[in-house]
Chain A
Amino acid sequence: MIDTEQFLSFLSEQGFSLATGVPCSYFKDTFVSLEKSKEINYIPATREDEAVGIICGYFLGGKNGFLILQNSGLATIGDALTSLAQLYKIPLLMFVSYRGLEPDADFPEHLVMGDVTEDVLEAYQIPYWILCEENWKNTMEQALKVMKDSSLPVCVLVKMGVLSQ
């Protein structure tokens, strides 16, 4: 597992000062660190599309934030991505839990979305990376470079045990 305090410090050094989204248990420890963080302000959102709106508004005001959501929430943010973030070219960093793989065999509610998660991202033309404990900084630097160069949303998929026990 990645040390979540180090992970958030890295994001804060990269200029992120706001986080919002809807929790997933895969981010349990991340949220504990987030609520303690002095550098990154956290606002709980009621829906993932609302969270996209908040981060886009925050960016229009000149600051950067990121999004945390479960892959089920990818199904909620289609219009927010296509007709806001992508249309206006707003860079958006999204951490999306990758539910519905082998460890989720007992969670049928995640299986269909787990099967189609990468297809959904590809269909929306959103570049994505899978975060691993090894080389996480490298992955994040790549994702952030693409986000900044393209001024568009990018997605970092987070499997079980990577950002929480």
Chain B
Amino acid sequence: MKGAEVIQKLNEYLTGEELIVSSNGNVSRQAYNFLPQPQVYLRGSMGLPVSIGLGLAISQPKKKVIVITGDGNFLMGLSSVTTVGFAKQNNLRILIIDNESYATTGCQETVSSALNYGEMVKGMGIESVMSIDLTKEKEMTSDLLDQFVNKEELQVLHIRVEIDDINLENIPWHPIEIKENFQNR
């Protein structure tokens, strides 16, 4: 499975009430195209989607906050995941779309292949961690995303995927518009 397909699949489990923060580059474009709008689409601040999601989750404790991040973004902000392990914010979830590359800038390799995400994230104080490899298994078990969206606990879902072959246009909204649309939702 490819990253964009995972994001499209996630859409089937959303109520539309979830607040979604997506990392810069392809992931934000896919979130914009395939998920309910408006959301927080990051154009820059590589490495910060997890911390922005944490701040949002603390600010809106009754809403579910889902961070969707590429592996490059996740690893750049790795220490912010330790803060999430410390803060234990139950309404926060992190979905890592791991294509082992900086796909947006031309598919250069990241260091992702060396890592055991399950153990790494558990060691950071986040107990509910699932890691699956969809380059090997072709299908996702149906309860995986259901649990990720609906279970009332801090969760990390790491999905190893194949690199996308679609190319989406830039998000047409200026970042100020992204903010205002999100604030007015």
Q: Please give, as numbers and ranges, the residues of chain B lying within 8 Å of A38 by CB-CB distance.
A: none
A-binding segment of B101-109, B158-166, B174-182: B174-182
Q: List B42-73 residues whose CB lies under 8 Å from chain A.
A: 42-60
* Given known A60-B183, A82-B44, A84-B45, contact A46–B56 (CB-CB < 8 A): no
Q: How far is the CA of A59 from the CA of B86 in the complex (A)?
A: 21
Decide if B131 is an interface residue (CB 8 Å cutoff).
no
Q: List A11-57 residues whose CB lies under 8 Å from chain B.
A: 18, 41, 43-47, 49-57
Q: How far is the CA of A41 from the CA of B87 in the complex (A)?
A: 11
Decide if B11 is an interface residue (CB 8 Å cutoff).
no
Decide if B95 is an interface residue (CB 8 Å cutoff).
no
Q: How far is the CA of A88 from the CA of B45 in the complex (A)?
A: 11
Whether B182 pairs with A47 at a CB distance below 8 angstroms is no
Q: Please give, as numbers and ranges, the residues of chain B lying within 8 Å of A84 by CB-CB distance.
A: 42, 44-45, 48, 52
Whether A57 pairs with B83 at a CB distance below 8 angstroms is no
* Given known A41-B58, A57-B21, A60-B40, contact A90–B51 (CB-CB < 8 A): no
B-binding segment of A61-69, A120-128, A135-143, A154-162: A61-69
What count of chain B residues pass the 8 Å CB interface test? Answer: 35
Whether B45 pairs with A45 at a CB distance below 8 angstroms is no
Question: Which residue of A58, A59, A80 is within 8 Å of B45 (Cβ)?
Answer: A80
Decide if B79 is an interface residue (CB 8 Å cutoff).
yes
Whether A50 pairs with B43 at a CB distance below 8 angstroms is no
Taking CB as reference atom, which chain B residue is nearest A57? B55
Q: List B10-66 residues whose CB lies under 8 Å from chain A.
A: 19, 21, 40, 42-60
Q: How far is the CA of A123 from the CA of B75 in the complex (A)?
A: 29
The minimal Cβ–Cβ distance linking B53 to chain A, given in whole angstroms, is: 6
Q: Please give, as numbers and ranges, the residues of chain B lying within 8 Å of A43 by CB-CB distance.
A: 58, 83, 86-87
Question: Which residue of B43, B54, B176, B183 is within 8 Å of A54 (Cβ)?
Answer: B54
* Given known A55-B55, A62-B60, contact A87–B83 (CB-CB < 8 A): no
Whether A44 pairs with B86 at a CB distance below 8 angstroms is yes
Decide if A109 is an interface residue (CB 8 Å cutoff).
no
Query: Can you list 17 A-B contacts (CB < 8 A)?
Result: A43-B83, A43-B87, A45-B83, A49-B51, A50-B80, A53-B52, A53-B54, A53-B77, A57-B54, A57-B59, A58-B56, A60-B55, A62-B183, A65-B55, A79-B46, A84-B45, A87-B175
Rank and list the top 5 A-B pairs by shortest CB-CB distance, nearest first. Answer: A83-B44, A61-B59, A57-B55, A53-B51, A53-B48
User: What is A's interface to B at a CB cutoff of 8 Å?
Assistant: 18, 41, 43-47, 49-63, 65, 79-80, 82-84, 87-90
